[in-house]
Structure 1
Amino acid sequence: MNQFPLFMLMSFLLILLPGPDTGLATQNTIVYGRKGGIQTVLGSAGGTLVHTLAAVLGLSALIVKSALLFSVFKYAGALYLIYLGVTSLWALRKAKNTVSEKEDIRHKGRSPLLQGLFTNMLNPKVAVFFLTFLPQFLVTGADPLIPFLLMGLTYTVMTLIWMVLYVCLLDRVGAWMKRPGVQRAMQGITGLVLVGFGLKLALERRP
């Protein structure tokens, strides 16, 4: 692990790139507030830890090598993202400026924590990432168990810190973000983004 500083630098640059987790955190921060956004981030971090353990145990390699398993995870993840985006857009049709109707936007019974967890876990691209990115920083011939765990935990913590800061910043942007019209517009945009990520994932080819 003599390349650990380089690993942290590359990880930070990759974390800055927006993806489905960022889109979901953005939407849930707008809809549920800072608490919902942070819960989403914690769920995504839990999914990353699951992928870390899967990489260590060799399950990620199995998913990547098996066309059937890769397709199952790919389409399940794509359908879930599209479902989240469509239900968000559908809720906007009923949204008004009254408090009672705003409750419809909040999608009663939906857990931001579980949304973040499932969105991350069902994305086979994360498994591919762990199997292609992490080995580049291993010493040739070294046992990958401890280094994989260390790098996976480091990547998770770095992502968690960045996303929590992002959610807090988004929540504190200003009073205009809390206006019903702006919230509905932002929710509509992030809903479309989630649908777009879902379609992109569905069209993803197995490496």
Structure 2
Amino acid sequence: MTNVSLFILMSVLLIILPGPDTGLATQNTLAAGKQGGLKTVLGSAAGLMIHTLAVTLGLSSILVKSAFLFSIFKYVGALYLIYLGISALWSMRKNPASIGEELPAGYKHKSHFLQGFLTNLLNPKVAVFFLTFLPQFVKPGGSAFWQLLTMGLIYTVLTVIWFFFYVHFINLIRAWMKKPSTQRVIQGMTGIALLGFGVKLALEKQP
């Protein structure tokens, strides 16, 4: 792998950009606390590892080249994000209790790990990103498989580290939010953000 330091720098800059993972981690941390946020992050990391394996095995290129498969992943992923956004808004509307009290009924039986996993896995933009970003740092003459796998692992670890601190920060803010009106505003904003990411993904064109 060439330019390791540049790869790490670029990865960090890309990871901290807000996206569906950020919106979902925020929403679940506000709704279920630090535990809910960290489970979401681990689910997202698991999704990244699946995308890493797909790139190393050449499966991502099939997805990108096939308009049919790309559309399936795109619309399923978009619908799932829209569903999460609507669920967040609905839970906020039905459960205006302040943060720190009993969890909203809509969150008691939800798997935050699965939410993070599916949000990442069903996003074809992640597959496209890995397919276009990682190969730029492959060293000619070396094993492309192991280099891509290593870069995918590094990117996943950096993602977990960033969101670990992010979730803890959001959890601290959550502890200060005692007013139901404040909670509703923040939950509403994250719900709308998830809806926006879903609509944006649905309108995404095949590269």
Show the counterpart of 2:150: 150
Could you tell me how far apart the structure 2 residues matched to 1:23 and 1:183 are? 15
Could you tell me how far apart the structure 2 residues matched to 1:169 and 1:196 are? 24
Number of residues of Structure 1 aligned to a counterpart in Structure 2: 206
Show the counterpart of 1:187: 187
Show the counterpart of 1:166: 166
Deviation by residue 1:56-80 (Cα, 9 ceiling, x = unmatched)? 1111111001000000000000000
Show the counterpart of 1:137: 137
Aligned ranges 1:9-24 → 2 under 5 Å: 9-24=9-24
Show the counterpart of 2:85: 85
Counterpart residue identity of residue 201, structure 1: L
DSSP 3-state at the match of 1:204: coil
Check whether the contact 2:54–2:60 (CA below 8 A) recurs between aligned residues. Answer: yes
Could you tell me how far apart the structure 2 residues matched to 1:98 and 1:192 are? 20
Show the counterpart of 2:62: 62
- What is the aligned-residue RMSD (CA, Å)? 1.7
Using the TM superposition, give the Cα deviation of residue 143 of structure 1 relative to its aligned residue in structure 2, in angstroms. 2.8
Show the counterpart of 1:107: 107
Could you tell me how far apart the structure 2 residues matched to 1:143 and 1:175 are? 48
Check whether the contact 1:44–1:117 (CA below 8 A) recurs between aligned residues. Answer: yes
Q: Does 1:6 align with 2:27?
A: no
Could you tell me how far apart the structure 2 residues matched to 1:105 and 1:199 are? 26
Q: Unpaired runs of 5+ in structure 2?
A: none
Using the TM superposition, give the Cα deviation of residue 102 of structure 1 relative to its aligned residue in structure 2, in angstroms. 5.2
Question: Residues 152 and 118 of structure 1: is their aligned pair in 2 closer, same or farther, counting only changes over 3 Å?
Answer: same
Could you tell me how far apart the structure 2 residues matched to 1:26 and 1:105 are? 18
TM-score by length of 2: 0.94
Question: Residues 175 and 117 of structure 1: is their aligned pair in 2 closer, same or farther, counting only changes over 3 Å?
Answer: closer
Deviation by residue 1:79-98 (Cα, 9 ceiling, x = unmatched)? 00000000111122212338
Check whether the contact 1:92–1:105 (CA below 8 A) recurs between aligned residues. Answer: no
Q: Unpaired runs of 5+ in structure 1?
A: none
Check whether the contact 1:176–1:182 (CA below 8 A) recurs between aligned residues. Answer: no
Q: Does 1:117 align with 2:152?
A: no
TM-score by length of 1: 0.94
Could you tell me how far apart the structure 1 residues matched to 2:175 and 2:156 are? 31
